[in-house]
Amino acid sequence: MVAGSLRNATAVGRWLTRRGYGTDDRPLAVIAAGERWPDGSLRPALEDLLGAGAIIAELESRGAGPLSPEATAARACFTHTPDVAVAVAACSSGIELARSGFADDVVVATELNASAIVPVLSDGAFNHGTGTGS
């Protein structure tokens, strides 16, 4: 398992396709994590959907596929959002974070491809690989 977001979408897509993922022989799932409401129910998160869409768009640009209808929809949400940073800042999570004093965190979280690190889960812990090599 790898961890991806808007910040490392290109690196994650590159890392996965270089290892043959996203093919019929090595299918994969990109999951927009979401959050939990205080009552424990699922709270979909726009920022996670857009991050998943960014990764899926990168995977597709590198020949991965075919895409499921769900992956196609997530990709379309990302590619058809004119300004991802503005959308995330205006969504419920962005507003909540800004009101709690974390507006700068929203800005950092929406920096598209600001990182080449690909966190890889191994033996119960995340280690990193770079998007360019490992």
**Burial class of residue 95, CB neighbours in 10 A (0-12, 13-18, 19+):** middle
What is the model's pTM? 0.92
How far apart are the C-alpha atoms of 16 and 85, rounded to whole Å? 25
**Average pLDDT for runs of 10 along the chain of length 134:** 96 96 94 90 94 98 95 98 98 95 97 95 82 46
